[in-house]
Amino acid sequence: MSTPRRLLLVNGPNLNLLGTREPEIYGTETLADVERIVVDAASALGFEVRAVQSNHEGVLIDAVHAAREDCAGIVINPSGLTHTSVILRDALTGVSLPVAEVHISDVYAREEFRHVSYVRDVAAVHVIGEGVAGYARATRLLIDVITGRADG
């Protein structure tokens, strides 16, 4: 069976407020802009994208579980769940897909509690603090891992 040419894009709680929530930290681009950036980066390399955003942890976990059926990898910004969710980490580990962790802001330059990431050791790719443009780089790097052009 060949590797599916689809990525799952996961955006966690409060990312539906991009563009209006703390623009001095997160910028003025919207979630629709993020999704377009990822779709454009992936399609340039022959991949499709399925996107999900939820403020509910279980919805995100269900989407991660479903990805094992038809996705080659996961681009995820778990937002606040990065620092709290062992079960989201376990879901990512459980599906055995390569993962790219993305954060719009530099979480290591912010409050100390944001320095903890339960996703860090699960992810093959990390793009931190590059704004929404970081999603494109994370997508390209993850596809490099999936296609064997980079180690993951």
Alpha-carbon span 111 to 132, nearest angstrom: 20
| Residue 115 among known ligand-binding residues | no
| Residue 105 among known ligand-binding residues | yes
What band does 21 get if pLDDT is binned at 50, 70 and 90? confident
Q: Which two tokens stand for residue 115?
A: 């320095």
| Residue 90 among known ligand-binding residues | yes
pLDDT at 111 over 80: no
Q: Is the pTM of this model over 0.85?
A: yes
User: Which residues are catalytic, by number?
Assistant: 26, 103
Alpha-carbon span 147 to 145, nearest angstrom: 6
| Residue 104 among known ligand-binding residues | yes
Question: What domains sit in the chain, N to C, each tagged with a CATH number?
Answer: 6-146 (3.40.50.9100)
